[in-house]
Structure 1
């Protein structure tokens, strides 16, 4: 594609500077020879600081937001000044990457459950003979082969390029985790989702949004009439209940609930834990059926209900989806079970908010007389979340507080913030995460369960800007544990 084709109708392209280009990138580290670099204002810096790096990497041209004048760099690379670049960028991306138009788009937002719901949508679609791409925390691609990602919701240039690649690979649909950061920073601007899903909203990311009102507003934007054709909304959540009364809400939506709101459009109840999963009854506009999911926790029934509803809204057969639900595989780092003869069971989960930790503990508590917990609080993040996390953690019988990506913050300061909570008086404090897990295993009886939260699938420990190789799973494997075949605790 030529620059003049890309910008037709939006900006004049001098013929002498018109040229072919390959991909569009807003991150200079992604530039390959022949690409177009977008230098725009970011959250903490401006892309103009990286123009030289992009050109050195082979950029064919640069569009620079609010640059003073046209100029050439490195002899022949044009740098075009562009006003209102953020408004024009989605239109350019649609021209360069038109594949998104052929895809059914599912957007899932919420504090917890985004990864599980998107993965369930993709698995159920695949089991029904469809091909569904995934963009999210665990990576981008087709289940179960994902490429590592920098963000839950990537930069807008990456999002459109991935959707185009999915379409070219034969995908019928794509399920996207849409984070509050991604919504606030316009990373899905210009897309219209066929179904938007709200799982829940609890305290998180207030270091970025400032307060819960702003956090909710960022999430709620996904459900506006101009961004979603339909929606699935959990009204057990107080913010979900607020969302359905907003005047900007898309015209078609279904409410989702447990028995708390029996008048909801979709109700999952009569939830029973079995030896190898969960059973429940699902009441929907498509009928009432029993459903079985080979995964642990009532929250996974809620996640499944959201995924099934989203797919049914777009025409997938409800009964067939429930049959396929029996084949669902565990999501990486979400309630993953590990066992070792003569030792307690261990479960790794990504839970890193007060609500998620509390839900995980309550899900495992009926399975064991003794429940131990290893958890941490991330550095350079919302400090007001730490005391509530301590309160949630105190639901466990024994608790070890350890490091969980302290980043550039003092790990000792994080410990001090947690210890200020009266609920943390009986905690054991150990900075060495592997040592804390080992100590917790030794202190938990054979018939007990150790829950390890916070990192989930992550394979690093972020300390002072350096990501050191580390994974909770690797620690368990080194201690003689093995991943349970079905991934659930029984």
Structure 2
């Protein structure tokens, strides 16, 4: 992650007054000592979720780091410098909160140069990111994205490990996008990324809030902490305009507190804002949806090749974003029908007519599973099959809830393996079963390929099969192993062998 040379004294201006560091120059900063290369690398040693960077300071020095920036444990050590093998180790308070700021200086604050759109919420982040990428491209732009599915430009996405990258990687990536002539950047903002201050020095032209429902409680512990992590984005970060789904109760609460908000809703309400989008009527068809709306920019009717109320909300949150960026409404109305579904998000697979339809979706939280099943109910004349599991070593409390939702909204349930990690798969399945109606059709087929195959060969052409939980993922984590696996490829292989 190289940049032009920057004086360490300039980087730490206002933090450290010491002429001894004025002749140290950097063009790269890393959090992982194994990634130190070249002669001008700064190693930042912070305490992580699993490892403490201080334990790797000696390794960083041996690899050639020109300086070490680390956190101070107390007031006495704050802003002090010690030397090891003539390499300065600089101690700063609240270092983890300021990495985005330091990376912004090194990479010349790229988010100040073009519009950056940030999207947060439990569900819908990936869909909106990709809807906006498609839409802006249709309108002649060159957008780049940072997304769960990958980072980059349309058709050239590179897969990533996290929804929101490290603070350093984000600033570096934004700079690279601008060098490649991006004129918009759209990024998903996870609650983990917000809690860990990974975007604290990104300047957002627009922030979008989708919804808030149960997820990641293994990390946040309770819903209040989870809400506060999302609230930080709008309350503590540099966000000019906010676009909020006020059908969501948390969104409505925030709408009443914040300024410069554009509300999007399907409900009748008194507009405190002069700028709004009100979705008035929705007609659901098997493969498309017709929506009429009113807004402060004008009114109209659109037809989209997407299904589900959540996709309606996602499209209109996207529309509000583009309207607030001064795209004409008429151009948006002419192009919206060309937007396609996102890989692994209500991804419908069509095949021989004597067999059922299959839908792949990333739904891995109670609310997302419920919304997908309710949508499938609108387009299914026969039975609904639901194949899913839950991730191991993650929020155990949601498992019972998801079991209850599955048996309420689907006709036949197959419990199977998701990403069990090191947790016993039988324990995960039993946790889910606690929420299942004992009178319901619930099968346990731990082999995910066999579970999908069983549903395909035992369903009728009027049925719909939902394969939930993994979506776009092309791996499965079992024990310490990351195995190559894809729901999409599995289904294609099964269908290919049907004669």
TM-score normalized with structure 2 length: 0.90
1:85 aligns with 2:95: yes
Report if the CA contact (8 A) 2:284-2:378 is conserved. no
What secondary structure, in the 3-state scheme, does the structure 2 residue paired with 1:387 have?
A: helix
Matching residue of 2:52: 46
1:421: how far off?
1.7
Matching residue of 2:418: 404
Question: Once the two structures are superposed, what CA deviation does each residue of 1:14-64 show, in whole Å capped at 9, x if it has no partner?
Answer: 447733322222233444334322111223432112334444555343212
Q: Distance in 2 between matches of 1:54 and 1:193?
A: 34
Match of 2:67 among 38, 61, 84: 61
Question: Once the two structures are superposed, what CA deviation does each residue of 1:157-202 show, in whole Å capped at 9, x if it has no partner?
Answer: 1111111112222122211111111111111112232211111111
Matching residue of 2:360: 348
Matching residue of 1:267: 278
What secondary structure, in the 3-state scheme, does the structure 1 residue paired with 2:164 have?
A: coil
Q: Distance in 2 between matches of 1:381 and 1:259?
A: 35
Q: Distance in 2 between matches of 1:349 and 1:481?
A: 21
Matching residue of 2:263: 255
Matching residue of 1:376: 389
1:4 aligns with 2:9: yes
Matching residue of 2:319: 308
TM-score normalized with structure 1 length: 0.91
Aligned pairs (5 A) from 1:13-412 = 14-15=19-20, 18-33=23-38, 34-55=40-61, 58-66=64-72, 70=81, 75=85, 77-98=87-108, 99-224=110-235, 226-246=237-257, 249=258, 251-259=259-267, 261=269, 265-274=276-285, 276-341=287-352, 342-368=354-380, 369-394=382-407, 395-412=409-426
Cα separation, partners in 2 of 1:283 and 1:95, compared to 1, 3 Å: same
Report if the CA contact (8 A) 1:10-1:88 is conserved. no
Q: Distance in 1 between matches of 2:254 and 2:239?
A: 14
41-50 or 279-288, larger mean C-alpha shift:
41-50
448-457 or 86-95, larger mean C-alpha shift:
86-95
What secondary structure, in the 3-state scheme, does the structure 2 residue paired with 1:194 have?
A: strand
Q: Distance in 2 between matches of 1:184 and 1:430?
A: 37
Cα separation, partners in 2 of 1:376 and 1:57, compared to 1, 3 Å: farther
1:329: how far off?
2.5
What secondary structure, in the 3-state scheme, does the structure 2 residue paired with 1:202 have?
A: coil
Q: Distance in 2 between matches of 1:16 and 1:211?
A: 44
Matching residue of 1:477: 492
- In angstroms, what is the RMSD of aligned CA positions? 2.3
1:422: how far off?
4.2
1:154: how far off?
1.1
Cα separation, partners in 2 of 1:303 and 1:48, compared to 1, 3 Å: same
Q: Distance in 1 between matches of 2:21 and 2:411?
A: 72
1:84: how far off?
3.4
Matching residue of 2:434: 420
Question: Once the two structures are superposed, what CA deviation does each residue of 1:64-120 show, in whole Å capped at 9, x if it has no partner?
Answer: 2228674555x5654333333235433322211122211212111111000011111
